[in-house]
Structure formats: structure tokens, C-alpha cells
Amino acid sequence: MATATAVCDFGWKAVDFELTGVDGKHYDLAAVRGARGTIVMFICNHCPYVKATIGRIVTDVAALEKLGVGAIAIMPNDTSAYPEDSFAKMKAFAAEHRFGFPYVIDETQATARAYGAICTPEFFGFNAKLELQYHGRLDAGKTTPPPPGAKRELLDAMRQIAAGGEGPREQIAGMGCSIKWRD
């Protein structure tokens, strides 16, 4: 089911977490924080929106890393109800798509709840002070590629944030599959 995100709550402070990555390491906010900004994204393996955008996500995050922007991908879904999102399958998904950022599991779903995440993919872009400056979509693509020449919204917003600490005031809400919550 497609779900749209809320608008950006400018200045909202990032919430810390400690989650296990597909590489066996534990990650908290300090471990992924970039000197000029940080992206906290919620993704999963099975969502058609994620599958359609993951190549662009990986490419854009790699470009932003060169600008001092850190990133982490958090998988929040109930894996007993959605075995395609299991930890073992997360490892394969990250390897297949050559993630250059940590991919971690939110087994308790406490981090997704703390961020107010509602769908995958969902992007939270923070400045160097960990103040929210972007809560929009990756680009105009949904389950298909964006039209030729479409704006790279997350990439452009995070470049702006890295350069000046503030995100664009006009943002288009993201859309994706609803998070699969435990009962």
C-alpha cells in the first residue's frame, strides 16, 4: 500500500540509536554522522519503491559522502510477517547493490517509531548540528525511473545543506510502502 510522508519539521533533532548492521558491527548516530550532514533513511528489501530507486540511492549517497555527508539505511519491517526483509536477505541485498553505507535492522522498531517513519523508502536529511532540514522524496521516480532531466531532489537538498546548513523550504513528500509494524 502506498503511503506518503509528512512535510519537513525543520530543526527537529536526530534521535540516537544503536542497531546491528549486515556487516556484524553496531552503529549509532555518532558512527554515521557526517561533518556536513547526515541522511537517516528507512528502506527494506521487498518494497517495489525501494527496488526501483536503490541504484539511484546508492549513487547519490556515494556522491554526498565526498561532500562530508554520512548516511545509514535502517530496515524497520516485521521480518516474521515479511521474510523477504530478513537479516540474511538484507545482507544479500546490500551486497548485490554494493552499499557504501551501513544497512542495519531495527528489530524492535523503536528507531522507526522515534523518527516517526511511516514508509520505505523514507529520507531524513540533517545538517551538521543534526537538525532536520529535509524530509522529502529521492526524486520524481516512484516504481519507475524519473522522467529524463528530472531534479535529483535528495541529492540537491543535501548538497545545499552541506554547503549552508539549511535545506530547501519547498519539498515534495516521499512515497513508498507502509512500514510493516508488529502487532
Q: What is the pLDDT of residues 48-79, one digit of tens each?
A: 999 999 999 999 999 999 999 999 999 999 99
Q: What is the mean pLDDT of the chain?
A: 96
End-to-end CA distance of the chain: 18
| Segments in the chain below pLDDT 50 | none
> How far is residue 183 CA from its own chain's centroid?
24
**2-178 is classed in which CATH architecture?**
3-Layer(aba) Sandwich (3.40)
pLDDT reported for residue 5: 78
Residue 4's nearest CA partner among 134, 135, 128, 176 is 176
pLDDT reported for residue 134: 98
For the whole model, what pTM was predicted?
A: 0.96
pLDDT reported for residue 1: 60
> CA-based angle 138:140:143, to the nearest 5?
85
Residue 70's nearest CA partner among 5, 135, 127, 151 is 127
